[in-house]
Amino acid sequence: MSAVSERLPTFPWDKLEPYKKTAAAHPDGIVDLSVGTPVDPVPDLIQKALIDAADSPGYPTVWGTPALRDAITGWVGRRLGARDVTHRHVLPIVGSKELVAWLPTQLGLGPGTATSKDVVAYPRLAYPTYEVGARLARADYVVYDDPRDLDPTNLKLLWLNSPSNPTGKVLSKQELTEIVAWARAHGVLVFSDECYLELGWEADPVSVLHPDVNGGSYDGIVAVHSLSKRSNLAGYRAAFLAGDPAVLGPLLEIRKHGGMMTSAPTQAAVVAALSDDTHVQEQRERYASRRALLREALVAHGFRIEHSEASLYLWATRDESCWQTVSHLADRGILVAPGDFYGEAGENFVRVALTATDERVRAAVERLS
C-alpha cells in the first residue's frame, strides 16, 4: 500500500462508477443527480468581465486586486450583515475545496506529540474533504453532533457547515451564537463553511459574521464562501474567506509562498458576480422549481425527506441501505450519491442534487411516477 493510500480514504466517487454505467444504459439516457455541479450558463455580465480581462500577461496577486477586495467587503456587508469589514478581513482563494483540504496544513496543525495531538472537528454528516484536510496534515480528527459536547483539549480547528452538505440542515442564529461563544471560551478557531448560504428554502441561513452571532467581533472566526453555486462559477474556481485578520494575515503570507493565486480574469469575473444580485435570484428560482418537482416525485415514490431546508440537495431515505437505494434509482436511469459518502450516519440516505437541466429533472420525475 502506498504512503498516499495509507493517509487518505478511498476516493468515494470511484465506488459509484458501476451504478453510473447502469444509469447511463437507460434508453432515454442518464439523469445525473449525484454531484452538485452547476449546469446552467454563466451569466453574461460575468462572462463579459472575464473576456475583458483576458489580456492579463502578468502574474496576479494572491490577495487580489483592490477592486476584488472592495467587491468582497461590499458583499459581506450587504448580504451577511457584517460590520466594519476592511481589506484585512478578506482573502480570495482558489475555490473552496482547495482551502478545506489544505487549511489544517496551512495553519501548522499536525500530529503533535503522543500526548498532545492537534485535533480537527467537523459534523458527523459532512463533506469528505474536512477529513481529508486533517489527514493531509496528519492531525487527529473527530466528528460531532453538537460541537459543544466536544472535549476542547487539543482541539485546534472547528468546522461548521451551515447550510449543510449533504443534509441541507441550517444552524439557527441562537445555535451559532452559542457555538461561537463556546469556541472562544476554549480558544478554538472556528471556520464556518457557508458556501450554500444563498440557497435557503425553508430557512434563512445566517453567517457567523453577523453581529448578532459574534457580538461585533471577528476574533477567532472565519467564514468560507464560494461563487460556484450562487453564480454557476464552479469552472472558474472562485471563492473567498472573510473574518479574523489575525488568521487571514498569516494565511495570506503562506499562500504567497505557495503561489495560490486566483487568475486575473477570474478576479475580474468575481468583481462582476459579487456586484450583481439579479442573476443570483434568477438562479435561485431555477433551483426552487427543480427542487419542488423532485421533492414531490420522491415523496410520491416512497421516500422521506429530512432536513433539506437549504442548499442544493434533498436528503432522502427509503429506510434501507443507501446502496440499495442507489441501485434502485440507477435501474431507472437516475444516479444519486450514497449517504455513507458523508459519514456512517448517512448509511440509509441518499443525496439528490438539484443540479440538472429542467429537461433532465422532468425525465427523473417521469421515471419516478
Kindly provide the b/e burial profile for residues 65-79, where b requires at least 16 CB atoms within 10 angstroms of the residue's own CB.
beebbbbbbebbeeb
pLDDT in tens, 266-283: 999 999 999 999 999 999
pLDDT in tens, 110-122: 987 667 889 999 9
How many other CB atoms are there within 10 angstroms of residue 216's CB atom?
11
Assess whether 253 and 333 both reside in one domain.
no
Assess whether 88 and 225 both reside in one domain.
yes
Please, are residues 1 and 312 in contact by the beta-carbon 8 Å criterion?
A: no
Assess whether 192 and 316 both reside in one domain.
no
- The residue type found at 80 is L
Please, are residues 230 and 223 in contact by the beta-carbon 8 Å criterion?
A: no
Gap between the Cα atoms of 60 and 224, Å rounded: 21
Q: Which alpha helices (H) appear in 235-321, and where do they start and end?
A: 245-258, 264-274, 278-300
Residue 210 reports pLDDT greater than 60: yes
Assess whether 107 and 221 both reside in one domain.
yes
Which pLDDT score, from 0 to 100, does residue 1 have?
44
Assess whether 35 and 151 both reside in one domain.
no
Assess whether 170 and 85 both reside in one domain.
yes
Query: Could you tell me the pLDDT band of residue 5, with boundaries at 50, 70 and 90?
Result: low
Which pLDDT score, from 0 to 100, does residue 234 have?
96
Which pLDDT score, from 0 to 100, does residue 115 have?
72
Assess whether 106 and 195 both reside in one domain.
yes
Assess whether 238 and 311 both reside in one domain.
no
Tell me, what CATH number does 347's domain have?
3.90.1150.10
Domain end (from 253, 275, 297): 275
Average pLDDT on 217-237 reads 97
Residue 286 reports pLDDT greater than 70: yes
Domain end (from 235, 255, 275): 275
Tell me, what CATH number does 172's domain have?
3.40.640.10
Assess whether 155 and 295 both reside in one domain.
no
Assess whether 243 and 284 both reside in one domain.
no
The strand order across the sheet containing 239-243 reads: 90-93, 239-243, 221-226, 189-193, 155-161, 119-123, 140-144
pLDDT in tens, 138-167: 999 999 999 999 999 999 999 999 999 999
Residue 2 reports pLDDT greater than 70: no
Domain end (from 228, 254, 275): 275
Assess whether 90 and 144 both reside in one domain.
yes
Which pLDDT score, from 0 to 100, does residue 6 have?
59
Assess whether 252 and 111 both reside in one domain.
yes
In the chain, pLDDT over 70 holds for what percent of residues?
97
Which pLDDT score, from 0 to 100, does residue 223 have?
98
User: Which residue range(s) make up the domain with 255?
Assistant: 44-275
Do strands 350-353 and 313-317 pair parallel, antiparallel, or not at all (unpaired)? antiparallel
Coil, strand or helix at 350: strand
Nearest-10 crossing angle of helices 17-24, 322-330: 30
Number of structural domains in the chain:
2
